[in-house]
Amino acid sequence: MNAHTPADRDALADAIRGSGVELVRFAWCDAHGLLRGKTLTATAALAALTSGVGMVSTLMLKDTSDRTAFKVFEPGIGEELPGFGYANNLLLHPIPRTWRVLPWAASTGWVQCQPHFDDGRPVPYDTRTQLQRALAALASQGLDLVCGLEVEFHIYRLCDPTVDPALNPEHSAWPPPAPAVQLIHPGYMLLSEAWFDQAEAPLRVVQHTAQALGLPLSSLEIELGPSQVEAVFDATDALTAADNMVLFRSAVRQALRRAGYHATFMCRPPFPNIMASGWHLHQSLRDLQSGHNALVRTAALPGADTTDARATLSDLGAHYLAGLLDHAQGMTVLCAPTANAFGRFRPNALAPQSILWGHDNRGAMLRVIGPQGHPATRIENRLGEPTANPYLYFAAQIHAGLSGLRSQRLPPPASLAPYADDPSAAPRIPSTLAAALQAFASDSAMQAGFGEDFVRYFSRLKHAEDARHQAAEDKLEFDRREYFARY
């Protein structure tokens, strides 16, 4: 999984020296999609390219409140989590191709890392490692995953960053209080040019930050909700897209904070009359031999009407679509992982409610896009929320889709009424985090793809979050502290 050569490390060392940076951040993406890491001086960073950077293993065992969800100082932890115990060290090894110079921090470089055990083995609970394994399974079928991202999120103006309650020692708490904020636009005018002009200052920060980092930003748009915006990215291979998403979320939050704004990728910010945010994942399969889009149907299927997936998709694409449908309940907690996310699945809200597909239908969970023969034919999964860990979100698509390819199943006809009141028309998306966790643990494709150990590990982290959410007397305050302040 970590196939970096000495030449790669030498090139990274040359880049660090040539950049003139004083500090280098060694960053790692945790189970919840947040970046953590250590900052080294440039001299120490050069030495760490070979030796790695020590990281306390409990960082992999945190729930969304940053509490350790496993009892690491009790006997048996080594059997439950091999390689872990007593807050031992793991080693972060840099990924040379992720090197950046940060545009908002003076003389600071950044490189993404993956954790390894002392003996050099990659840690199997690392989510980037999980995506790499999923991509290897897909490659064994001669395919690669291509992803395009549409990410909705909210930007607010900090009322007074100098008196942030989270920084007042009198208000210190675990998790900390959320900042006081104001809207950057009043909302309820989708794609309003006037609202874009009103919100231009923070959106320019987003634009300049993304472009300075080399991210393939395509557009910035005003969404329907108050202070809600959307960023759209050109399609890339799945691993690059996931790396880009992790960096984008962290970078814009930091850059906007310095400019006096608070960005949040939580699904439903804790305010009245707010609109939930989704993360729409556009995906296609690339044939590794020809380089062509394997979802494209190159010749019309005789007798196929518009409700037949094979009117647009190749047979392979139809089987992949069937797998996504079959395992949608099992993958939900990886696409919408917070307790806050499940209020989004409501009828007539441009969010899915049931597990079904449609041709260019934004009410369906899976939207098939492109006329027959179009090279950009793709499947849009509208299940996700913007806090999702992209490595797990993408890996879930692969494991579900591969199940469909192996079984050669075909999907049911396209839905023409995605919000039908009759629940027997299609199974519903899980309505709570607890229900989604149960579906994840019992799903055959998720169990086989991620492995039983990872399913138990991830479920333990999320059950801890769910238990605290259910026990919270003030659910809105839980959302403020757990998600709004930190995501």
Complete domains list, the chain, with CATH:
6-121 (3.10.20.70), 138-484 (3.30.590.10)
Helix (H) or strand (E) holding 468: helix 452-471
Cα 247 from chain centroid?
11
Residues 6+ away with beta carbon under 8 Å from 231: 149, 150, 151, 153, 206, 210, 217, 219, 220, 221, 248
Token reading at 241: 């897209």
What sign for the dihedral angle of Cα 320, 321, 326, 332?
positive
Q: Are 357 and 365 in contact (CB under 8 A)?
A: yes
Query: Given this model, what pLDDT does residue 318 score?
Result: 97
Query: Given this model, what pLDDT does residue 107 score?
Result: 98
Helix (H) or strand (E) holding 281: strand 279-287
Closest of 145, 30, 31, 82 to residue 395, by C-alpha = 145
CA–CA separation, 399 and 405 (whole Å):
10
Query: Given this model, what pLDDT does residue 176 score?
Result: 87
pTM given for the model: 0.96
CA–CA separation, 379 and 364 (whole Å):
11
Query: Given this model, what pLDDT does residue 163 score?
Result: 67
CA–CA separation, 114 and 93 (whole Å):
6
Query: Given this model, what pLDDT does residue 3 score?
Result: 58
283: left (phi over 0), alpha (psi -120 to 50) or beta: beta
Token pair 């990924």 in the structure block, residue: 95
Helix (H) or strand (E) holding 35: strand 35-41
Please count the other Cβ atoms lying within 10 Å of the Cβ belonging to residue 216: 16
3-state secondary structure of 312: coil
Query: Given this model, what pLDDT does residue 423 score?
Result: 62
Residue by residue, pLDDT tens for the chain (487 residues) are: 555 788 899 999 999 999 999 999 999 999 999 999 999 999 999 999 999 999 999 999 999 999 999 999 988 888 889 999 899 999 999 999 999 999 999 999 999 999 999 999 999 999 999 999 999 999 999 999 999 999 999 999 999 766 677 777 877 888 888 999 999 999 999 999 999 999 999 999 999 999 999 999 999 999 999 999 999 999 999 999 999 999 999 999 999 999 999 999 999 999 999 999 999 999 999 999 999 999 999 988 888 888 999 999 999 999 999 999 999 999 999 999 999 999 999 888 889 999 999 999 999 999 999 888 899 999 999 999 999 999 999 999 999 999 999 999 999 999 989 998 776 679 999 999 999 999 999 999 999 999 999 999 999 999 999 999 999 999 999 999 999 999 9
Closest of 314, 332, 306, 326 to residue 373, by C-alpha = 314
CA-derived radius of gyration, the chain: 22
